[in-house]
Amino acid sequence: MAPPTLPNTAPIPSPPPSSVKELTNSTSLGSVPPQYAIRNPETTMDIEPIIEEEIPTVDFSLLTEGTPEQRSQVVRHLGKACEEWGCFMVVNHGIPERLMEAMLISLKEFFDQTEEEKGEYTGKHVMDPIRCGTSFNLTVEDVRYWRDYLKVFVHPIFYSPAKPPRFRETSKEYAESTRAMGMELLRGIWESLGLEEDDMTKALDLHSCFQILVCNIYPPCPQPELAIGLPAHSDHGLLTILLQNGVSGLQVKRRGSWVRVEPLPNSFLVNTGDHMEIVSNGRYKSVLHRAEVNSQSTRLSIASVVAPSLDTIVEPASQLVSDEHPMMFRGMRYGEYVEHQQANRLKTKSAMDPVRLHAK
Ligand code: OGA
Ligand code: NI
C-alpha cells in the first residue's frame, strides 16, 4: 500500500504588501525588499550624470494680464522652454496657496486610510475613472517602484473617491483651476508654434478635454540609491502640471544628463507630454523625467494632466507638416493611446513607438 501522502508543509509565502505605505508602516525596514532594488548606483551615475542647471521660469500673470509686448515675450519664452527643455516652472499663477495646501492635505488623508478602505479602488482596469495602486502596473512589471498612486479622471466627467470627506470639493476646485491654467498655457504654446487657437481647440476637442489627477506618494526609503519612485518616462497628455509638497525628487532629462527640480514655494512644474510632441510634429518633444526617493521625508506629488478628448484621433497639426518637415506620427485615438501606455511597462518613450512613422 502506498504511504499516505504527507501534507505539504512548505510555508505559504505571504503575499507582497499591497502598497509601499503598508510595507513601510508595518515594519522598520533596514533595507529594501529585492524586487525594489533595481539600480546599481555605481554604474548608473556614470552613464547618466546629474547636473545643476536652472529650469526656465514662466510668469503666468504676464500671459493673462501683461501688455501685448509682455505677452509676446512670455509666448516666445514659453516656446523656447518647450523646445529646449520640455518643462518650466510657473509662478504668479493665481491659484490660491490655500487650495494647493488643501489638495495635498486631502491626498495625505486619502493615503492614510486603511488598505481595506482604499481597496475599493484597487485592482481596477486602467481605464477605470478611480484607480489606486502601487508601482506602475503590477500585471506586467517584474520589478517594483517605491511609489503608491491614486488616479482620478476629473474631466469631462468629474469623479472623486467618497472619502476623505473634503476630497471631492477640494479636488473639484483644484482640477478646474489647473485645467484653466493648462488651457491658458496651451494658448500661449499654440501661438509660439504659429497655430490658431480655434483650430487647435477644435482639432483636439478641448472643450471635452481629458484631464486626470495622478496623485503620488513616495514614503521614506531605507536605501534610496537602490530603489526608484518612478523610472524615466514621458507623460501621455499635452501638458502635465505638477504640484509637490516641498520635498524634492523629480529630475528631468536634458541633453543626456539629469537635472534636479527643486520645488519653488507656491509654484508648479509644467512639462510637455507625448501629445504635445505628436501635435507639434516633433517640434516640442515630450520630456523624459523620473522620481527619486529619499530616506528622510515622505514626498507627495499631484500631476494634473491636460489632454485631448479621449475620442479625438490626434495627428500632427497640418500647418507644421511640409516637404521639409514630413509627417512624423500617424493618428491614433487618444483613449487608445492612454490605454496602451497604462497597460504596458513604463519605459522611457516606448509608448510612442506605435505612432511613429519614422525610426528615431
Ligand atoms: C507622474 C510623474 C513625478 C513626480 O506622475 O507621471 O512623473 O515628481 N510624477 O511625482
Ligand atoms: Ni510623469
* pLDDT, tens digit, 9 for 90 and up, residues 299-341: 999 999 999 999 999 999 999 999 999 999 999 999 999 998 8
Query: What is the per-residue pLDDT for 360?
Result: 62
Longest dimension (CA), the chain: 97
* Mean pLDDT calculated for residue range 223-252: 95
Query: What is the per-residue pLDDT for 15?
Result: 58
Which whole-number Å values give the CA distances from 166 to 121, 160, 174, in the listed order?
18, 10, 12
Residue type present at position 98: R
Which whole-number Å values give the CA distances from 82 to 75, 79, 275, in the listed order?
11, 5, 13
* Mean pLDDT calculated for residue range 26-41: 84
Note the pTM of the prediction, 2 decimals: 0.93
For every residue of 297-318, which 3-state class applies, written as one string? Answer: CCEEEEEEEEECCCCCEECCCH
- 155-182, pLDDT tens digit by residue? 999 999 999 999 999 999 999 999 999 9
- Rounded distance between C-alpha atoms, residue 288 and residue 291, angstroms: 11
Please check the confidence at residue 43 and state whether its pLDDT lies above 80.
no
Nearest atom within ligand 1 for CA of residue 244: 8
Nearest atom within ligand 1 for CA of residue 250: 8
213 C-alpha vs ligand 1 centroid, how far in Å? 11
- Say which ligand is closest to the CA of 303: 1
Please check the confidence at residue 78 and state whether its pLDDT lies above 70.
yes
Query: What is the per-residue pLDDT for 142?
Result: 82
Burial group, residue 170, by CB count within 10 angstroms (0-12, 13-18, 19+): buried
67 C-alpha vs ligand 1 centroid, how far in Å? 34
Take atom 6 of ligand 1 and give the residue whose Cα is closest.
235
Average per-residue pLDDT in the chain? Answer: 92
Query: What is the per-residue pLDDT for 136?
Result: 83
Q: Which of these, 28, 73, 48, lies nearest to 257 by C-alpha position?
A: 48
Nearest atom within ligand 1 for CA of residue 249: 8
Query: What is the per-residue pLDDT for 147?
Result: 95
Query: What is the per-residue pLDDT for 343?
Result: 78
Please check the confidence at residue 8 and state whether its pLDDT lies above 90.
no
Banded pLDDT at 48 (limits 50, 70, 90) = confident
Q: Which of these, 284, 282, 275, 287, lies nearest to 232 by C-alpha position?
A: 287
127 C-alpha vs ligand 2 centroid, how far in Å? 17
Give ligand 1 pocket residues (Cβ under 6 A).
214, 216, 230, 235, 242, 249-250, 289, 291, 301, 303
Q: Of 138-142, 249-253, 328-332, which range is least confident?
A: 138-142
304 C-alpha vs ligand 1 centroid, how far in Å? 10
Take atom 8 of ligand 1 and give the residue whose Cα is closest.
250
What would the grid cell of residue 271 be?
Answer: 512639462
* Mean pLDDT calculated for residue range 263-272: 95
φ, ψ for residue 267, nearest 5 deg = -135, 165
- Say which ligand is closest to the CA of 290: 1
Take atom 1 of ligand 1 and give the residue whose Cα is closest.
303
Nearest atom within ligand 1 for CA of residue 301: 10
Nearest atom within ligand 1 for CA of residue 269: 8
Query: What is the per-residue pLDDT for 3?
Result: 54
Rg (C-alpha) for the chain, rounded Å, is 21
